[in-house]
Chain A
Amino acid sequence: MLLIQCIYCGERDETEFDYGGEVREQRPLEPDNLSDNEWAEFLFSRANINGIHVEQWFHSGGCRQWFNLERNTYTNEITKVFNLKNQQIIRDKN
């Protein structure tokens, strides 16, 4: 089980959290101007990285705040925790 450090509550078990997928570029500002392929790419394509992955987590069973993590998807080691608003690094293992 992952031990995740919430930026507000400290280290908690993975069961308290919901996974929110990879951190991605912003939603296109004018989706009407996109072609079907471009829209599909935004909607469905994923980087699906094997290695260092920046992802969103939600402390649903705690403070109910979103934040970002940097996790190695191969070793499951969590290396950085980010504040969502200003991307300030809260914790850096390195």
Chain B
Amino acid sequence: MKSRLNTNNTYSLFSIIKSGFKKNSVLDISMSNKTPKKNYDVIVIGGGGHGMATAYYLAKNHGITNIAVVEKGLIGRGNTGRNTQVVRSNYLWTESSLLYEHSLKLWNNLSQDLNFNVMYTKRGVFSLAHSYQEARDVARRVTANKLNGIDSLYLTPKEIKEYMPIINISPTARYPIFGASLQKRGGTVHHDAVAWGFARRLNQIGIDIVQNCEVRNLIIKNNIVNGISTDKGDIFANKIAVAVAGSSTRFAEMGNFKLPIESHPLQAWVSEPIKPILNPVVMSNAVHAYVSQAEKGELVIGAGIDKYIGYSQRGSFNVIENATSAIIELFPAFSKVKLLRTWAGLVDVSPDACPIIGNTPVKNLYINCGWGTGGFKATPGSGYVFAHTIANDKPHILNEAFSLDRFASGKLIDEHGAAGVAH
């Protein structure tokens, strides 16, 4: 099995020309609809980025390849393909910054690992401050980042203007800019490429991706889980890992335990494509908005969550209006740009804006949820530590603090103020 993991049919000019003559689409591989076997070592429920990354690192780091990834819908149709592609690691608290930093380092080599270009672009991520207090908070976070060995800079309005001449730094602006943090290694990763890259790699390794397969119940005996019952029949496994974001509560109910999770709509939208005008990612916690320009030229804009819980994968228009008007105040040049489309994902928000990764009250059942609005950037890191947790039945040092029992012990990781809005 190890050898299959190492076979990389690397790209060359010759292989590209050769592929041009045959029907060889990424979709063909990823969409192949496997009929599940009866038994696996591990079943990962949820075929999003986190679920597939978990299966990948179970194979790569722990030598477990008898795995099924069970997906209710289709690969790439969930939150993995709905986010705004931003990756960064400049979180305030040590626990979260180390976890996200681990992930950012994995993004660095993920294209080579998967033999699939995920288009990690280190375009830099700015977090703007619009008041004296916010400027102090941003400066504090920059210092905390430096202490944790994470690159982070504090910039004055003039320095920000040098990076993006179109930004409005006038002191009389509706949202005056007092300063910003900049993480240069932050940037964007193409989210569809992540979905297809992982799916293709899992296929190469021989991990079964079972699509259109809804899990109806967990098979639990004496508080030990040993299988799932799905609309494609019962499937048994030694260990079950749940990485289902907004649907986590349903699985907790099946396991007869409770989660501190609420599912909210989170919206994003893109403009018509325009010529390159904005290189970095710009986010602002105060105005609940962030913007970047995709490779194709569209402005990608995101907001905070809709306030009510909702499973509809659509949000309210006022959220779009508020965030867009704030972006136009910051970048008046965008005022005539037309919106192309809007969409929403279904995010699982935890009380402290930090994920829950680890064991559950049910033996051999593991959960990875609560990423809220910031899960995409953590995709490889989340899979890495979750795979470790599953293989060893205990958390990796990086996710020890993110256990479910922190809500009873009171040891929360309060990222809400620092990072909870614009992920």
A interface, CB within 8 angstroms of B: 1-2, 13-15, 18-19, 21-22, 36-37, 39-41, 43-50, 53, 55, 71, 73-76
Contacts and interface: CB of A to CB of B under 8 A. Distances in A.
B316 interface: yes
Nearest to A14: B316
Contact of A1 (B250, B261, B316): B316
B10 interface: no
A50 B311 contact: yes
Given A1-B317, A1-B318, A15-B318, A45 B259 contact: yes
A87 B260 CA distance: 26
Interface stretch (B65-73, B170-178, B302-310, B393-401): B302-310
Interface string B368-390: 00000000000000000000000
Contact of B307 (A18, A37, A53): A18
Contact of B409 (A2, A36, A41, A74): A36
Given A36-B409, A37-B408, A44 B309 contact: no
B132 interface: no
Contacts of A74: 310-312
A71 B316 CA distance: 15
Q: Give 3 nearest A-B pairs by CB, closest first.
A: A44-B260, A45-B258, A40-B408
Interface of B: 247, 249-250, 258-263, 307-312, 314, 316-318, 351, 407-410
A49 B316 CA distance: 19
A59 to B, nearest CB: 14
Contact of A48 (B249, B316, B318): B249
26 contacts: A1-B317, A1-B318, A2-B308, A2-B316, A14-B316, A15-B318, A19-B307, A19-B308, A22-B309, A36-B408, A36-B409, A41-B258, A45-B259, A46-B249, A46-B259, A46-B261, A47-B249, A48-B262, A48-B309, A49-B309, A50-B311, A73-B263, A73-B311, A73-B312, A74-B312, A76-B314
B140 to A, nearest CB: 27
Nearest to B259: A45
A48 B259 contact: yes
B260 A45 contact: yes
A30 B9 CA distance: 65
B312 A76 contact: yes
Contacts of B318: 1, 13-15
A53 to B, nearest CB: 7
B310 A76 contact: yes
Contacts of B314: 76
B6 to A, nearest CB: 42
A72 to B, nearest CB: 9
A1 B310 CA distance: 12
Given A50-B249, A73-B311, 13 more contacts: A14-B318, A19-B307, A21-B262, A36-B409, A45-B259, A45-B260, A71-B308, A73-B310, A74-B311, A74-B312, A76-B310, A76-B312, A76-B314
A2 B312 CA distance: 13
A14 B194 CA distance: 36
B308 A50 contact: no
Contact of A50 (B250, B258, B261, B307): B250
A22 B316 CA distance: 19
A3 B371 CA distance: 29
Contacts of A49: 309
Contacts of B262: 21, 46, 48
Contacts of B408: 36-37, 39-40
B407 A40 contact: yes
